[in-house]
Amino acid sequence: MRLCASEEVAEGQAIECPDPRDLEGGTLIVLRSGGRVRAYLNVCPHAGRPLNWAPGRFLYAHGQLVCAAHGASFQPDDGICIGGPCRGDSLRLVWTREEDGVVWLEDAA
Ligand code: FES
């Protein structure tokens, strides 16, 4: 399943994509770090809220993705929380593949 075009996810940027598997409208965080695209469920392990502060807008700077609700900060490469109320917990990784200028969802289960 297609998530987005590669060019939509610039280095050091995070975008919000609809989760094509979620019939209830859940979304994914799709980010690029070190040239590599990763995707996570847009659900914070602290209180289950989305991480974005506005539709499609994330606090992602200085190598950390920060939840807008209560400030938990996550490593972009593995989704582990390194500061804030859920330190040690992790975002849920969604497997993706980047090919032919497209980011594809691999976890279709
Ligand atoms: S819901 Fe993300 S830090 Fe509380």
| Residue having the nearest C-alpha atom to atom 1 of ligand 1 | 47
Contact criterion met (CB below 8 Å) for 93 and 40: yes
Is the domain spanning 2-105 CATH 3.40.50.720? The answer is: no
- Three-class secondary structure of residue 7 per DSSP: helix
| Residue having the nearest C-alpha atom to atom 3 of ligand 1 | 70
Query: Which residue ranges have their beta carbon within 6 Å of ligand 1?
Result: 44, 46-47, 49, 67, 69-72, 84-85
Q: pTM, whole model, 2 decimals?
A: 0.95
Relative to beta strand 59-61, strand 36-41 is unpaired
3-30 pLDDT, tens digit each: 999 999 999 999 999 999 999 999 999 9
Relative to beta strand 64-66, strand 2-5 is unpaired
Ligand 1 atom nearest to 44, measured from its CA: 2
63-85 pLDDT, tens digit each: 999 999 999 999 999 999 999 99
